[in-house]
Amino acid sequence: MSLLEQFPREEYLLKGNAACAGCGPALALRYVLKALGPRTVLVIPASCSSIIAGAYPKSAFKVPVYHIAFAASAATASGLVEGLEAQGIEANVVVWAGDGGTVDIGLQGLSGAAERNHNVTYICYDNEAYMNTGIQRSGATPYGAWTTTTPLGNKGRKKDLPFIMAAHNIPYVATASPAFPKDLVNKVAKAQKIRGFKYIHILAPCPTGWRYDPRLTVKIARLAVMTGFWPLLEIEHGRLRLNNPSTNLLDPARRRPLKEYLELQGRYRHLSEEDLKVLQRQIDEQWARIKAMLRVQEELEDQVEQGQGERQR
Amino acid sequence: MVELPVARPSVGAAGKTGNWRLFKPSIDYRKCIKCLLCWMYCPDGVISLSGKGLPVIDYEYCKGCGICAEECPVKAIEMVKEVEG
C-alpha cells in the first residue's frame, strides 16, 4: 500500500501554528488527526497543545477543541461523549493530553473515566516533563534525565502508565511512536472501532526540553524504540501483544545500545557510567516483565482451553 | 441570539512561522525518488505534493527544523543558511 493510501492528504493540524520547530507532539498529533478524520472533538487540558491550538479568533486545528483545566480532561470527555450520544450525534471524543496532565494531575479523572468505561479515546503524548511551563520534572520523566527541577538528574523512575491503564481492564491500551506512523495511525483507527475506554500512550520527543537539534526528532523517537527504551505494544481485551519492530527486541542482543539514544540528548549529558547501568537495568527489567507476561498469558490460555475441553466431556 | 466567540480554523494561527527559520531546506529534484518520507515526517505539514508527485515546501510557514533533510533516504534535501553574518 502506498503512503498516500494509508495517510489521507487532508491536514487537520494547520501550518503556521505555535509548535516549536521539530515538535514531536505536533508530528504525533498530525498523524492522530489524519487517523481520526473530521468527525472528532478534541479535549485538551493545559499543555503545550493548548498553545499550539492558538488564540482567539484563530484555531490551528480543523476539529473542535474543548480546552479544559489540567485535572478535568477525562471527566469532561466522559460527559461530552454521553451528551453527544444522548443527542444521537456520532463523533470521536478524544482526549489529547501531555504527560503531566495524564500521569500526574489528570490521573484520578482518567482512572474514573476508565472504570466507567466511557466510549472515549484518551491519548497521552509523553515528552517526559512539563515542557510548556519550563521543563519541570513529571512522573513520566525517566531516571537520570535533567530537567529544571532535577538539575543533577532525576532520581525517580518513569511511571508505567500503559500498564496502570491495562490494570483497569479497559478494552484497549497501546503505546506508539511518531517514528512509526503506520503503527500509530493503525492503533488510533483501531481504537475508534472498539466501544469503551481506549488509552494510547505516545512517546513524543521534545527538542526544547530534551536538548537536541530539532532535525533529530524522528531519529531519536526511532532510537527510543530500537534500544528497547520504548516498547511498541498493545493490550486488546487484556491480551498483550508486541508490535513491530519491538516484536524482535525480546532478545536483548537485537536491541541497539542504549547509549546511542542517550548521547544525542543534552538532558543526559551528565550521566555517569553508574547512572547508565541503572537505566539499562530498568529497561532490562521492563523486558523481562513483558516476556514473563507473554509466557503466563499463554499458559493461562492453555489452561482455560483445557478446562473448557474437560467440561464439554 | 448571542454570537459566541468561537475560534475558527486558520492557517497561520501563530503568524508567518517561516520567519522563525535559520536554515532553509532545499530539495534537489534530480535526486528525489518521490518516496514522500519528507511529507510524512514534517511536523508542520508544510510539504505538499505537486501534480507529478514531487514534494513542494511552503516556505511561508516552514520553520526549518530539518527533519525532512535528516530523514531523506537519498540525501536530496540540504539545509542552507538563510542569512549570512
The full set of domain ranges for chain A reads 3-312
Task: Give B52→chain A minimum CA distance, Å.
Answer: 14
Kindly list the residues from chain B whose CB atom is less than 8 angstroms away from the CB atom of residue A49. Answer: none
Task: Give B73→chain A minimum CA distance, Å.
Answer: 12
Residues of B with CB under 8 A from a CB of A: 5, 7-17, 20-21, 35-37, 39-46, 49, 58, 60-61, 63-67, 69-71, 79
Q: Are A61 and B9 in contact (CB < 8 Å)? A: yes
Kindly list the residues from chain A whose CB atom is less than 8 angstroms away from the CB atom of residue B14. Answer: 16-18, 54, 60
Q: Quote the percentage of chain B above a pLDDT of 70.
A: 98
What was the pLDDT predicted at A312?
75
Distance CA B21, CA A203 (A): 26
pLDDT, mean over chain A: 96
pLDDT, mean over chain B: 95
Distance CA B7, CA A63 (A): 11
Residue among B8, B13, B37 minimizing CB distance to A18? B13
* Segments of chain A scoring below 70 in pLDDT: 1
Distance CA A247, CA A226 (A): 11
Q: What is the widest separation between alpha-carbon atoms in chain B?
A: 59
Q: Are B13 and A17 in contact (CB < 8 Å)? A: yes
What was the pLDDT predicted at B85?
57
Q: Which residue of B has its CA nearest to A222?
A: B71
In this prediction, residue B84 has a pLDDT band, given cuts at 50, 70 and 90, of low
What are the two backbone dihedrals, phi and then psi, of residue A107, each rounded to the nearest 5 degrees? -65, -40
CATH number of the structural domain A3-312: 3.40.50.970
What was the pLDDT predicted at A1?
58
Q: Report the DSSP pairing between strands A58-59 and B8-9.
A: parallel
Residue among A17, A30, A207 minimizing CB distance to B14? A17
Domain B17-81 CATH class label = alpha beta
CA distances from A105 to A73, A94, B76 (A): 10, 18, 44
Task: Give A268→chain B minimum CA distance, Å.
Answer: 21
**Residue B36 pLDDT greater than 70, yes or no:** yes
Q: What's the rounded mean pLDDT across residues B45-73?
A: 96
> Which residue(s) pair with A123 in the sheet?
A96, A200
Q: What's the rounded mean pLDDT across residues B28-43?
A: 97
In this prediction, residue B27 has a pLDDT band, given cuts at 50, 70 and 90, of very high
The full set of domain ranges for chain B reads 17-81
What was the pLDDT predicted at B73?
98
**ipTM associated with this complex:** 0.95
Kindly list the residues from chain B whose CB atom is less than 8 angstroms away from the CB atom of residue A18. Answer: 13-14
Q: Which residue of B has its CA nearest to A24?
A: B43
What was the pLDDT predicted at B9?
96
Distance CA B37, CA B55 (A): 9
Distance CA A140, CA A75 (A): 21
Q: Report the DSSP pairing between strands A92-98 and A40-45.
A: parallel
Task: Give A238→chain B minimum CA distance, Å.
Answer: 32
